[in-house]
Amino acid sequence: MTVDAMEKNLFGLSLNQLNDLMKELGFPSYRADQLFEWLHKKQIDTWEEMSNIPKKLKSTLQENGYQLMLPTLVSKHISTDGQTIKCLFSLYDGYTVETVLMNYARDNSRDRRTVCVSSQVGCAMGCPFCATGHQGFYRNLDVSEIVGQVILMNKLVRQKDPIEQVTNLVYMGMGEPLNNYNHVLASVRLLSDAHGLNIGLRRMTISTCGIVPKIYALAAEGLPVTLAVSLHTADNKKRDKLVPINEKYPLASLLKACRYYYEQTKRRITFEYALIAGENDQPSDIIDLQRLLKGLNCHVNIIPLNVVSHAPYKTSLEAERFVEQLKKYHVEAFIREEKGLEIDAACGQLKANEGEKHEYFLDE
């Protein structure tokens, strides 16, 4: 399957695109609705099972190169409490990505089943504490490959309970989502379509290490998705080292973009802060952070660093003190509930401790 053929993977087409396709091929538009329902509501990936689609349409689609293709499950790791599942999926060209499903039980509200999707094979951003960044960049994922990860995770949810489904989506897996902007945005629209999986836009979070022009672009989309910024320090010199894109888009420009995002969307910004011993966990770091975020409607997720084998960084033991101090400055902060640590499915760990390139390219 070539890249062109990927564009003919029906799982990556929106309902509007399917409508246009039906028109082009000479079929009535209600066939687009039926196809969309098979693909995204019933999540069927074989022609045979699409019982109300006429043979003529199926054969016309196939003759024109259209395919039904989901990633292939290579391996599945389940945490001992059964609440986190990490899957390794193989793509059409042999590259692989990881996707994580996290179940959060809540006493007073509906349980959440959150999928953390990958948007790229590898990542070009080179954050030194991150396993994905360490591996380098291979390619962007197509829309159908991003959507496919969610569909396959949703199938796992339904295997356990047929009336349940994925409720939340975070673009925090492998890759920098805003560097694959068009495909990520297309997947957001597709996965939130009421005729399909219907995941609420307010239940979606797009993470970025700080691609400033794309934050402005996202703000202009008029979508109420949450923006999560991997901040990790409020000091430019330290950030140049921890998040190298900071050299191009330093903190002042990043925060200006975040303030703009909030003004446009009224969505509270999340700042991710991986706490690293001796690097960004000192009292001066708290002072810098509260100064930087002053007046912005946001909260800070303190993430105890997940140690990966290639990096010299160590987990800070200061998380609770850090949160308490930030609260004194009226900065809302939480220690993020970490899921999947034992199966290397936690933040920054995707690809961690494996270190082998075959995880990216199966046929090598």
Interface contacts to ligand SF4, rule CB under 6 A = 123, 125-127, 130, 132-133, 175-176, 209, 230, 348
Residue 179 beta carbon to ligand SF4: minimum distance, rounded to whole angstroms: 8
Residue 278 beta carbon to ligand SF4: minimum distance, rounded to whole angstroms: 19
Query: Of 196 and 210, which has the nearer Cβ to ligand SF4?
Result: 210
Residue 120 beta carbon to ligand SF4: minimum distance, rounded to whole angstroms: 8
In this structure, which amino acid lies at residue 146? I
Do 206 and 215 touch, CB atoms closer than 8 A?
no
Query: Of 84 and 120, which has the nearer Cβ to ligand SF4?
Result: 120
Task: Point out the catalytic residue in the list 123, 127, 298, 347.
Answer: 347
Say whether 247 is catalytic.
Answer: no
Instruction: List b or e across 234-258, with b for residues whose CB sees 16 or more CB atoms inside 10 angstroms.
Output: bbeebbbebbbbbeebebeebbebb
Say whether 98 is catalytic.
Answer: yes
Residue 136 beta carbon to ligand SF4: minimum distance, rounded to whole angstroms: 10
Residue identified by tokens 């599945």 is 76
Query: Of 84 and 132, which has the nearer Cβ to ligand SF4?
Result: 132
DSSP state of 357: G
Closest alpha carbon to 118 in 99, 134, 95, 133: 99
Backbone angles phi, psi at 289, to 5 degrees: -65, -45
Residues 104, 113: Cα–Cα separation, whole Å: 6
Closest residue to ligand SF4, based on beta-carbon distance: 133
Query: Of 45 and 235, which has the nearer Cβ to ligand SF4?
Result: 235
Query: Of 272 and 281, which has the nearer Cβ to ligand SF4?
Result: 272
- How many C-beta atoms lie closer than 10 Å to residue 77's C-beta? 16
Task: Point out the catalytic residue in the list 98, 145, 272, 318.
Answer: 98
Closest alpha carbon to 132 in 360, 341, 362, 340: 360
Do 234 and 289 touch, CB atoms closer than 8 A?
yes
Residue 131 beta carbon to ligand SF4: minimum distance, rounded to whole angstroms: 7
Q: Which residues are catalytic?
A: 98, 347
